Structure 1
């Protein structure tokens, strides 16, 4: 009976809700979501940023949700899922080319692909691969796109590892730090998650602004 209740609670999980995912699957769910969001095109809708932050927060045991995670296993699962997912996405793109993306009817996915192509063209492989980690949807499509465009394996592996570690560990520890300093912080979770989404877009916005200023300066010199 207990097994049936546990199974029914997992089947009722909301994949768009970080707390629901964590309550149902714990640390293993974090690794699985990181892999799916960064390695499989069908995972573009998953809440990567908010999941990492919320998971870090729940490691402190200061919330009222009743879910408590261990920090070290959580960090290991997050990093492993993020790195393995990106490498898998790259290999899929390398073998299948752009055909998988071309078959998709998701406008959001195609918008992400366009932005990923802009990143690669404007900033080069290394910077684009790192920046993409912090932009929802773009981090999903850039990996297979890099494979399809035949970005060198060593270059991709190095910079996806750098970006993956900084992104996954950084957001998880940010949640842990906030949860350690504010009691019952999960009551403010929704506005905090919204802030995280905004902050995650800041590196890309800063680079775009810098590029526009550089382009404007070139036009003035002409």
Structure 2
């Protein structure tokens, strides 16, 4: 294994922390790609896998807390303008951000947990949590739980692929395609679902 990722992983667990933290700030590569890669290349045994999960989850949660602090600092109006201006560059539609921000007001713990399973939203919705001044501890706890579940799934899959005797690259690529397809379907449902429901109600009404 060569290249920038190999150089970063040369720093051991600190390198893993840096990769997982950076992915939360700017999701390149996407988290599922990074986690599968780490599971396949950086976990020679089960105990190392558990340590990787701990480090990656702490890094993911730390990245979310950075965005939470940014949102808390700039407030709801500036956060809204920030997403409206720059959200499209990171595939975060302003309308999606606002709908999820409204959901935050109703049940911030559940939304903080579920946000960890939604593409792009999992990276930047903490801005809304901070801007709305939601309690930091429940937000951090829900984010930690969600990140643990998300990271565990992909790290473990990568680890199992490594020892399966199958073509890890091909199987990993198929998994990534399936995940991307599911994420795309979810985002389309989130984007067009409310409009479809309104049209159905208009027809039936």
Q: Which bin holds the TM-score, normalised by the shorter protein?
A: 0.7 to 0.9
- Give the unaligned 5+ runs of structure 2: none
Give the secondary-structure state (helix, strand or coil) at the position aligned to 1:115.
Answer: helix
The 1-side partners of 2:86 and 2:186 are apart by: 28
TM-score by length of 2: 0.72
TM-score by length of 1: 0.67
Aligned residues: 194
1:92 to 67, 70, 82: 70
2:22 to 11, 14, 36: 36
Q: CA deviation at 1:215?
A: 6.9
1:171 to 154, 157, 164: 154
Give the secondary-structure state (helix, strand or coil) at the position aligned to 1:150.
Answer: coil
Moved more, 165-174 or 29-38: 29-38
- 2:49 maps to 1:71: yes
**Contact 1:89 1:144 (8 Å CA) reproduced:** yes
Q: CA deviation at 1:205?
A: 6.8
The 2-side partners of 1:166 and 1:144 are apart by: 21
The 1-side partners of 2:93 and 2:53 are apart by: 27
Where does 1:1-222 land on structure 2 (aligned, <5 Å)?
A: 13=4, 21=5, 23-26=6-9, 27-38=13-24, 40=25, 43-59=26-42, 70-97=48-75, 99=78, 102=82, 105=86, 107-109=88-90, 111-122=92-103, 124-200=107-183
**Contact 1:109 1:141 (8 Å CA) reproduced:** no
The 1-side partners of 2:187 and 2:174 are apart by: 21
**Contact 1:113 1:145 (8 Å CA) reproduced:** no
The 2-side partners of 1:120 and 1:75 are apart by: 29
Moved more, 146-155 or 176-185: 176-185
The 1-side partners of 2:118 and 2:70 are apart by: 21
**Contact 1:93 1:143 (8 Å CA) reproduced:** yes
Question: Alpha carbons of 1:133 and 1:113: their partners in 2 closer, same or farther (altered >3 Å)?
Answer: farther
- Give the unaligned 5+ runs of structure 1: 1-8, 14-20, 62-68
Question: Alpha carbons of 1:97 and 1:44: their partners in 2 closer, same or farther (altered >3 Å)?
Answer: farther
